[in-house]
Structure 1
Amino acid sequence: MDKGAADPIIKEKVLAYLDTVTKAKSRDVAVAIGEKKSSVDLAVKELTAEDKVEYLYITTTYIALKDKVPPPV
């Protein structure tokens, strides 16, 4: 089922929030910006495709701005 394109306003809110933290869970981003998690997930998916956000797998899944979190040593 196609959910359509993400709301550009939500994408901007996600980017702005991620700029204030090192990494975050999608649920935490949704709460912080006052949007539904499903809308945030769609925005993150598009931002990942645009190479602006990346998924981090550190015992659980986080999201972060691209290249903001250094790779583990």
Structure 2
Amino acid sequence: MSKPATARNPQAAHRRDRIVMWTALGLGTGLFASTLLGNMLGFVVLPFDPHHVYGQVGGIALALFGLTRWR
């Protein structure tokens, strides 16, 4: 029986987790910051979210998802 891909090459799995971590962390922080600024300055970032609730919650969720991948 063959081993799973992560058991055969743990460095590849670690590299993939780092890419996912930094991408999710960057996108989440950017989304949160842009909707926070939009809320303060009065412009709409997401057209379906005029009150910036979904953008801020989604940004925090993405950032937290990225942080859970931290090793």
What TM-score does the superposition give when structure 1 sets the normalisation length? 0.30
| Greater helix content | 2
Structure showing greater Rg: 2
Higher relative contact order (CA 8 A, sep 6+): 2
What TM-score does the superposition give when structure 2 sets the normalisation length? 0.30
